[in-house]
Amino acid sequence: MSSKLEELQALLAPVVVALGYECWGIEFSAQGRHSMLRVYIDKEGGVLVDDCAIVSRQISGVLDVEDPISVEYTLEVSSPGMERPLFTIDQFAKFAGEQVKIKLRSPFEGRRNFQGLLRGVEEQDVVVQVDDHEFLLPIDMIDKANIIPSFD
């Protein structure tokens, strides 16, 4: 996790929790004037648009005062949705048994993209079965990971 992302997590997660939500994760994409700060929130029973609006207003106030982002950016507050992103080792453990799509920051065993069955975690590694091969992917190498929804 980048130091900017760690700073934003430390600043914003307590605000989300104080409002009664779980801070599922934070993404920050610095792209000049097209930069995006996305905060995922969750709660028992699911997240409604009004929940996102409440959290967005509160976070906007904190960001205006603290000013941790020096470039122009768009703030988006969202539920994790069906293609739920996974950020932490605990989240990977919780969703063992699900199909996942994982993209790494740099190649591991010659590839950056993995899609398969999330078997679980071993210490700081995420265990993914792709076809008949198991990969232990270090969590700090994962750039993006999402659940692949099933519609059974």
Contact 65, 114 (CB under 8 A): no
Q: Where are the domains of the chain?
A: 3-78, 89-147
Mean pLDDT of the 49-70 span:
95
pLDDT tens digit string along 94-144? 999 999 999 999 999 899 999 999 999 999 999 999 999 999 999 999 999
Using the predicted structure, report yes or no on whether residue 71 has a pLDDT greater than 90: no
What's residue 32's pLDDT? Answer: 77
Q: Going by CATH, does the domain composed of 89-147 fall within 3.40.640.10?
A: no
At 65, the amino acid letter reads V
- How far is 58 from 55, CA to CA, in rounded Å? 5
CATH ID of 3-78, from 3.40.50.10470, 3.30.300.70, 3.40.50.10790, 3.40.190.10: 3.30.300.70
- DSSP category for residue 44: T
Per-residue pLDDT at 33: 79
pLDDT of amino acid 1? 62
